Structure formats: structure tokens, C-alpha cells
């Protein structure tokens, strides 16, 4: 009887919770949910929570109706009253599922603008099962045609703040060991942090370091979480066998490749918060200076080559306004 009871517990055990935080992107969220319903994409014992961050546009109703119409019995729509940001929405969903369904082995943070390829999430779980010291793992993010995206990164440093903006081959080669987005091998590899678009967390990490920091509205919250986990002794991994399509910037508009929108104030606030929280005022000031030197150097080179600047409009002006001595608390 004891053996049989143990088998029943194993069969009903909550293996994984997938959290999708939606804000006015109901159609994308429904497509993401549909991709998770393909047999084998998520392991048995998976619960999916689509949290709507107070969209006020009927998103919660659209998502709930799609769940019912498609009989996605392992999925739930969780309407929230407030758009508190990425960390806030994920934390509320995690609290909800633990309170109502129990504690899972793993939690996957998944963007609404993603499509999980068949088997992708199960492969991430299999990796975590076989690597007990791994606290965090991220999928390979790619465009619909299979081209890879930058999704595994080194922690911010003064060197890579400069390198990422100057965009000059000799500088990149000189600062290769600090490059923020290194070329990743085709096998699972350790890295400092992975994109929150598809990021799996072992629940013991949450037990040890706490939830996502809700002081970030959007951006840098996954960097913050990964550095906290690293300092607590957990490793972070990029797992390219887990392939997830990422429709870049569709859920936020910030990182669209075509006609990028003006970078919102909360991006600068999140960057500043991370630097001050983890490295202090001197690091923050030097990072701002490195970014500015790199960015201005890049603009001078474009001007010399007769090319117009690309990227978000008014980026330099916005950066100066939100940085260092110009920043208003």
C-alpha cells in the first residue's frame, strides 16, 4: 500500500508551473498557450497560469474564453487589478499557484510573445532534473525562421557597457572576455544570466533568495535575480536544445528591430536601480560614462561614414537625462 501510494503521489505531483504575464497582448498569449498544448512540449504535471496585468481591454476575458474553448484543462487565467510590471505579475501568479495547487519543482517565466517549439519546455525540465546544482536555465530564443537571438549574457560591467555601444570590431576583439552577449556553443553551457523571455527557476532558489524584485517595473529584473542566485551559490545555464520562438519586442515595443520606439523611462530607471543595488554609486557613474563614450564614439563613426544613426529615437538625450548627476529622484 505504501508503494502504491507513493506512485500515486508521483503521478499527481506538480512538476512545473509556467507563468505568462500578459498586458494588452491577448492574441499573442493565446498563441503561446496553444504552443504549450502540443503533446510533449511540457511534461506531465504542468500547470500554466496566464496572469493579466490589469489590461482593461478585455484581455482577461479573451484568454479565459480561449482556455475554455480549447479545453486547456491545465491552464488558468488569473486577472490582476494592477499593471505592476513583470516582477509583480510573475510573483502574484507564483503565489496563486502555490496557494491553490501546491509547490512545483520548477517555475518557467515565459513571455506572451513566444511560441514554444514541440518538446522545448520538456527538454529544459530534463536538463534541470539532471543538473541538481543548476538553479536557473534558459532556452535558445530564435526568430520564426530559426535564426538565433542573443539570449545568454554576462553580467553588466564597465567594459561591456563601452563595448556594446561603440560597436567596433577591434574593440570587441580586445574586450572579448567581457562582451555582454558572447557566442554560445551548441551544448548546454554556464553563463551569468539568461533572458526572462524563457527562464526556468528551481523552486529551492526562490526559497533561498526570495521572489523577483518588484522595484523593477520592466527590464533588469532577471539580471537582478540571476546575480542574487549566483551569489547564493546557484549556477545558471543556457540550454540550446530547448528552442523557443521569440517575436522580439511584440509584448513591449521596446526592442523591435524595425522602427524601434522611444526607450521608456522605466528602462533607464531599471538599469540605474540594478547598478546601484549591486555595485554602488561609483560603478553606476563609471558605467554611465563608459556607455556615453561608446555611444558617442559610434555616432562620430557613423557621421564620418555618412550614415544616419539607427536605434531608438532620442536615445542619447534620454540617457543623459536619466543618468548620473542629471537624474532626479
pLDDT in tens, 135-159: 999 999 999 999 999 999 999 999 9
> By the 8 A CB rule, do 111 and 196 touch?
yes
- Kindly give the residue spans of alpha helices, DSSP state H, lying in 187-264: 203-209, 221-231
pLDDT in tens, 222-274: 999 999 999 999 999 999 999 999 998 665 544 444 456 899 999 999 999 99
* Pairing between β-strand 114-116 and β-strand 106-110 as defined by DSSP bridges: unpaired
| Per-residue confidence (pLDDT) for residue 275, from 0 to 100 | 97
pLDDT in tens, 105-125: 999 999 999 999 999 999 999
Measured at the alpha carbon of residue 50, what is the angle toward residues 248 and 128, in degrees to the nearest 5? Answer: 75
Residue 318: how many CB atoms within 10 A of its CB?
A: 17
Q: Specify the pTM.
A: 0.91
Q: What mean pLDDT is reported for the chain?
A: 92
| Per-residue confidence (pLDDT) for residue 6, from 0 to 100 | 36
Q: How far apart are CA 190 and CA 238, in angstroms?
A: 6
- Work out the widest C-alpha separation in the chain, in whole angstroms: 80
| Per-residue confidence (pLDDT) for residue 323, from 0 to 100 | 80
pLDDT in tens, 30-51: 999 999 999 999 999 999 999 9
Of 237, 234, 252, 229, nearest to 198 by C-alpha is 237
Q: How far apart are CA 245 and CA 51, in angstroms?
A: 20
| Per-residue confidence (pLDDT) for residue 259, from 0 to 100 | 54
Q: Using CA atoms in the order 161, 164, 167, 170, what is the torsion angle rounded to 10 degrees?
A: 70
Q: How far apart are CA 236 and CA 238, in angstroms?
A: 7
Of 232, 231, 223, nearest to 204 by C-alpha is 232
Amino acid at each position: 500500500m505504501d508503494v502504491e501510494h507513493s506512485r500515486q503521489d508521483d503521478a499527481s505531483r506538480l512538476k512545473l508551473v509556467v507563468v505568462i504575464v500578459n498586458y494588452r497582448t491577448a492574441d499573442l498569449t493565446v498563441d503561446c498557450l496553444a504552443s504549450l498544448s502540443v503533446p510533449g512540449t511540457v511534461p506531465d504535471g504542468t500547470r500554466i497560469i496566464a496572469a493579466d496585468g490589469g489590461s482593461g481591454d478585455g484581455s482577461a476575458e479573451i484568454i479565459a474564453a480561449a482556455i475554455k474553448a480549447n479545453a486547456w484543462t491545465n491552464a488558468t487565467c488569473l486577472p490582476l487589478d494592477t499593471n505592476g510590471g513583470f516582477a509583480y505579475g510573475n510573483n502574484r501568479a507564483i503565489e496563486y499557484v502555490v496557494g491553490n495547487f501546491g509547490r512545483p519543482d520548477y517555475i518557467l517565466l515565459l513571455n506572451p510573445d513566444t511560441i514554444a517549439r514541440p518538446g522545448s519546455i520538456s527538454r529544459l525540465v530534463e536538463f534541470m532534473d539532471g543538473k541538481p546544482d543548476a538553479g536557473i536555465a534558459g532556452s535558445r530564443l530564435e526568430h520564426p525562421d530559426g535564426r538565433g537571438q542573443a539570449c545568454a549574457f554576462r553580467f553588466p560591467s564597465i567594459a561591456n557597457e563601452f563595448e556594446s555601444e561603440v560597436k567596433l570590431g577591434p574593440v570587441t576583439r580586445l574586450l572579448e572576455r567581457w562582451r555582454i552577449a558572447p557566442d554560445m556553443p551548441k551544448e548546454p553551457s554556464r553563463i551569468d544570466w539568461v533572458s526572462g523571455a524563457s527562464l526556468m527557476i528551481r523552486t529551492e532558489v526562490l526559497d533561498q533568495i526570495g521572489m523577483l524584485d518588484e522595484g523593477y517595473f520592466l527590464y533588469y529584473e532577471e539580471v537582478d535575480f540571476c546575480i542574487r542566485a549566483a551569489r547564493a551559490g546557484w549556477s545558471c545555464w543556457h540550454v540550446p536544445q530547448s528552442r523557443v520562438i521569440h517575436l522580439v519586442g511584440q509584448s513591449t515595443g521596446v526592442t523591435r528591430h524595425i522602427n524601434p520606439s522611444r526607450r521608456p523611462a522605466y528602462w533607464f530607471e531599471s538599469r540605474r536601480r540594478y547598478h546601484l543595488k549591486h555595485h554602488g554609486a561609483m560603478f553606476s557613474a563609471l558605467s554611465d560614462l563608459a556607455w556615453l563614450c561608446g555611444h558617442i564614439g559610434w555616432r562620430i563613426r557613423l557621421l564620418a561614414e555618412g550614415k544616419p544613426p539607427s536605434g531608438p529615437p532620442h536615445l542619447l538625450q534620454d540617457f543623459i537625462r536619466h543618468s548620473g548627476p542629471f537624474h532626479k529622484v
